[in-house]
Each structure stands twice: as C-alpha cells, then as structure tokens.
Chain A
C-alpha cells in the first residue's frame, strides 16, 4: 500500500510546534520515549518497545567452518527485517532503500565496533567456529527504528547463551543444555544508537523522533556510543548540511542518553536473571499484564485556561453578528439566489483557490438534516418527498428527493418565485436549496452542459 502523504496542514503544524520547542506527545527536545524490555522463554529472545515502536530480536548460533582469511574468528551475521505488520507502507520488495540503510548501519555499529569478542567464538582454528546470527524484526513502526533495533540487538546478544564446547586433542564435544549450562557470549561493550532529527536546515534538533516528526524532518544524524563515551559509529543521512559544532554537541547529548539506556538494559537483564534463578515464570506471556483494561489513553497536557473566558468574550465581541435568516430568496444574479440561514457568507475571507477546490466537498456539506431546515424555510411549503422531478407552483418551494446519482442542482429563475427545482439527496433527507455559494457555481457549470 502506498504511504499516505502527509498533509500540508499537519506538516506546518508540526514544524511550528517544533519552532516553539513543543512536541506532540509532550516530551522535551532531548527526551526519549519509554523503553520497555521483555524477554522470551528462550535465551537470546527479547522484545524492545520504544514508545510504540516494537522490535523483536532473536539470536541463534551454529557451528560452521570459518572464512578463509579469518581462520580463528567467529562469524557474526545481522539481519533486520521490516515486517509487513509494522506499517502499511512496508511491502515485500518495496522497502529496499530504507532496509539497506538500516542494515548497513546495524552492521557497522555492531560488527565494526567489535563489541563481541569473535576470537572467543573459535572452536577449532581453521575448521569450526561459531556463527552467531542476530535476527531483528520490526513489529510496529512509530519512528526511530534504528535506536530500537540497536537496543534489541545488544540486549539479545547479552541475554543469549551458547552451548558449551570442549576440545580434547582432536575431539570436539558439544554439550547439550541439559549436560552443561550454556555459556554467555563475551561482550566487550554495548554500543547504542541515538538518533537526532534536524529541522529547518539544522536550526532545531530533536532526539528520538516519532513517526510524524520523521516525516517532516530534513535529515537524521545517528551516533552510536557506549557507556565509556566511545563513539562507535556516526552516520549522517538525508542531505542536511551540518556544522562541526552541531556534531560535537550531539555527541555530548548522546553520551548522556546512552548512559541512561545502558543502565536500563543492565537492570532488565538482572531482573530476568533473578526471575529465572528463583524459578519464577518468565517469558513474553508473563510480561503482558493480565486483567488490565487496555484503553487508548492520551496523556493530558496541562493548558492554562484561566483567561479562556476573557478571550472567548473578546472573540465574540469582535466577531460580526450572525447573519439573519432570510425567508424569501435573495437574488444575486440571474440564475443564482440565496435563501435561509447563512446568506452572508464568509468564504470571501479565504483564498480564492480554496473556494474552487472545495466545490467537490460542498456536496457532502450540504446534506443537512431536517431539524436545521425548519429554522430556515417554512416547513409547510416543502413538498412531500417524492421521486422524480417536478415543477414548483407559483408559491413556495417544493423540495424533491430523488435517488439518481446526479449532483444536486438548484436553478432559480430571475422571476420572483423559484420555478424549477431539482434537488437530490443520497437518502431521504431534505436539504436547503441554495445555502452555499459553491453549489451555485456547480449549477452554472451544469447549466452550460
């Protein structure tokens, strides 16, 4: 499915809000969303939730023969997949650019920074080494995939236990988990990616952009660091122009954020370890809270309403009084007249182009229910609802409903009384005849046909 384009209104709204240092979900510019880490029953399986973005990470291992030019090192393989359930725009075969970018970034962040000791994965030099495979699946896309994926990858790697192996001379014995406890991987450090989104040619920056913010951003800078403040990867993307001090500032912010996230990860790992040792229940099923009513809850943002009354009164006082109800048609030009409420229209305030565009939408807007009708037009004059068209008598108006698919059309002759009215609604609803200018315009077009 093609991605729905972002409307200009929304784009402008988001950019204005960012200029005023406000984010839609109420965060500060340097705040992360809530991170939740849960583990599965097997070792090496975890789900990371960064706000609503969800990534599933799974680590598995296999004994293979090593690469020819690196005979004593194990093999690391990373794969990030954008599952079709993550966003409607993700389709098999359609996502290549984003996928390549994310995968390469993950590879560079985790493999080139040597966070895992690959020499320890060697079993028999030149013949058998461990191949560690990290599979990441994006389950829900709400922005900032790369951060969530990097956290999931490193957590899964820290959680994983590989089977124990012993070598005696030429014999290699692989123990099953029942015989000997599996061994954790040796991890030197934990690189974590932090994303910075830039707006308005680099003037404003946000940490951890969500999906809407990602759509309006100019570019992205990803800095991967570990808690020892070593930068593992920097990648700028999206065609923004950066300045050196911007990069340096971002790296400082990243340092702070990474320290917090690393602490969270360590705590989560510790908790899981404790639960397993104590024999408690663990796994994904346990991490979903039971007997909880899930509701779509939005955090309330505090708004100062103390002066709302005054402002409202001001607005009302300054506004023009509502137009009066006219019961006989007001003739504007031959072929156009108005009757009822709202004769005075305010569409002249808007740009002309919007008026033109709105003609199509005017159709739906005119379908009003009978209640409103009563205020504008005398009910007694309205004819019964019949199918077909007919002429109206000399006095009053008659409204017709018809099930034809024609757009409604109201033609009023310049004589005092409206003669011929053809109206049509989609259901048995009566409508005010000429209450909005757009209808009249359409009428003119039809008359020309």
Chain B
C-alpha cells in the first residue's frame, strides 16, 4: 500500500508497537486428545495449529527407514479462509511443499533422531492468516514437546524486516505486504545456533547484521514466552494427575 507509513517519526509502527516489540503471543498445548502431541499458537492475528504423531513405525515403503535415525515428515497446509481473499490452494502446490521441506529441515536438526531409529515422526501444521513461517515453527516446537519427543533445545522462530534504517521485529501482514526485505530465522536459544535462515527482497549487506540481531533477539523473547507456557502446562498436568 503506497503512502502507508510503516514507521512513524516517533518510532511507532502501524499497529502501535515499537521497533523491537513482538505481537501478543498466546499458546496452548495438548489441544487434541487423539494426537501424541498438539499445540495452538496465536501471534497477533496469525494462528497456527500443529499436530505431532510419533515416533511410530514407518508407514508406506519400508525402504525409507534410516537404520540409525528417525525420519521426520512435515506437512504444511494453509487454510483457504486464511488470507484476505478466499484462495483455494491445491494441496501439493509449491509453496506448501517448500514450507514442509523447510520445517522438516529445521526439526531434523533439532530433534534427537538418533534415539528413535527406524521410526517416523509426523508434524502437521495448519496455518491461518497469511503465512508466517515463524508461527508454524513455534507451534510445531510446542507440539513436539507435548508429544514428549526429545529435542536439543526449543526451536524459536521470528521474522524481521528493515524500514528506514531500523530493523523491525515480528512483521505483521501489513508490513510484509509492503514489500520490504523480510528475514525469517529459526534459532536454538541456548546455543544461538541458527537452524534455518531465509530472506527475501533486497537488503544491503551492511544492514544484514542488524536485522539478524533483531530477529535473534525477538526469537529469544519468544523462547521466554514458550518456556513459560510449557511450564504452566506441565504444572496443570501434574495437578490433574494428583501429585
């Protein structure tokens, strides 16, 4: 949208946040009783739902079984009502495939697959409201934790952009649509290692460091929130079990 000021002179963004502030995050674990693990996360207006099955026997061709590790299978699906206009997305289209591949890559690095050889872990993510990779990854992390699958560390993701010389953290749909550079980063907070890095649109090399730092800081903030959610969930579960 031309003429829309993404960053005002006083440093406020379109929705009133400051440059480094995240949107409101609400998350819930154990949403589905049927699945081994499930989670729901709301980041501003973006809502993501993740479901995990596994580890279980390899379905389909046995030949795909890896002798020393588990196979991680991820599928991403975007609801037709998620964007402003109703878009009927065919199931196997390239964007969904790519997102599935990226999720798989992220989680293969994070899940301790050596502990479950010859098994398969399925992660299904349903995303409403115009794609951010970050919400998918955060939801999937919570779901994997809910399923009890061992991971190296939380995988926290956040997006970042760059407007008028300032790095913005956690882009909303409006800011994404404006067409500036967008960076999506998935981080393991304890070690600071980057599991996945993805960037679109032009950004001058000199600004790369600032944007990376903003995204990393935002991911660490997401981590504190997710950590709180997990502890809360465990506390509730243990109360119900009557400890």
* Chain A contacts with B in 151-189, Cβ cutoff 8 A: 189
Let me know if B202 and A244 touch, CB within 8 A. Answer: no
Q: Is B5 an interface residue (CB 8 A)?
A: no
Q: Is A235 an interface residue (CB 8 A)?
A: yes
Q: How far is the CA of A117 from the CA of B66 in the complex (A)?
A: 47
Closest CB in chain B relative to A328 CB, distance in Å: 49
* Chain A contacts with B in 213-249, Cβ cutoff 8 A: 221, 225-226, 228-244, 247-248
Residues of A within 8 A of B115 (CB): none
Tell me which of A112, A236, A243 has the highest count of chain B C-beta atoms within 10 A of its own C-beta.
A236
> For chain A, what secondary structure do more than half of its interface residues adopt (helix, strand, loop), or is it mixed?
mixed
Which of B95, B109, B198 lies in contact with A234, CB distance below 8 A? B198
Q: Is A143 an interface residue (CB 8 A)?
A: no
Let me know if B202 and A230 touch, CB within 8 A. Answer: yes
Residues of B within 8 A of A236 (CB): 194, 196-198
Q: Is A351 an interface residue (CB 8 A)?
A: no
Q: Is B209 an interface residue (CB 8 A)?
A: yes
- Given the interface pairs A233-B199, A243-B194, A247-B212, the reply to whether A225 lies near B205 with Cβ below 8 Å is yes
Q: How far is the CA of A252 from the CA of B204 in the complex (A)?
A: 11
Q: Is A24 an interface residue (CB 8 A)?
A: no
Q: How far is the CA of A21 from the CA of B197 in the complex (A)?
A: 26
Closest CB in chain B relative to A257 CB, distance in Å: 13
Let me know if B198 and A231 touch, CB within 8 A. Answer: no
Let me know if B192 and A232 touch, CB within 8 A. Answer: no
Let me know if B201 and A113 touch, CB within 8 A. Answer: yes
Q: How far is the CA of A234 from the CA of B181 in the complex (A)?
A: 11
- Given the interface pairs A229-B205, A230-B205, A248-B209, the reply to whether A243 lies near B200 with Cβ below 8 Å is no
Let me know if A113 and B105 touch, CB within 8 A. Answer: no
Residues of B within 8 A of A228 (CB): 204
- Given the interface pairs A100-B94, A104-B94, the reply to whether A242 lies near B197 with Cβ below 8 Å is yes
Closest CB in chain A relative to B73 CB, distance in Å: 12
Closest CB in chain A relative to B6 CB, distance in Å: 18
Contact with B along A250-268 (1 / 0, CB 8 A): 0110010000000000000
Q: How far is the CA of A230 from the CA of B194 in the complex (A)?
A: 22
Which of A229, A238, A243, A247 lies in contact with B204, CB distance below 8 A? A229
Residues of B within 8 A of A240 (CB): 109
Closest CB in chain B relative to A209 CB, distance in Å: 18
Let me know if B205 and A252 touch, CB within 8 A. Answer: yes
Which of B85, B95, B181, B197 lies in contact with A247, CB distance below 8 A? B197
- Given the interface pairs A230-B202, A244-B213, the reply to whether A97 lies near B101 with Cβ below 8 Å is yes
Tell me which of A114, A231, A240 has the highest count of chain B C-beta atoms within 10 A of its own C-beta.
A231
7 contacts between A and B (CB under 8 A): A97-B101, A101-B98, A103-B94, A237-B102, A241-B188, A251-B205, A252-B205
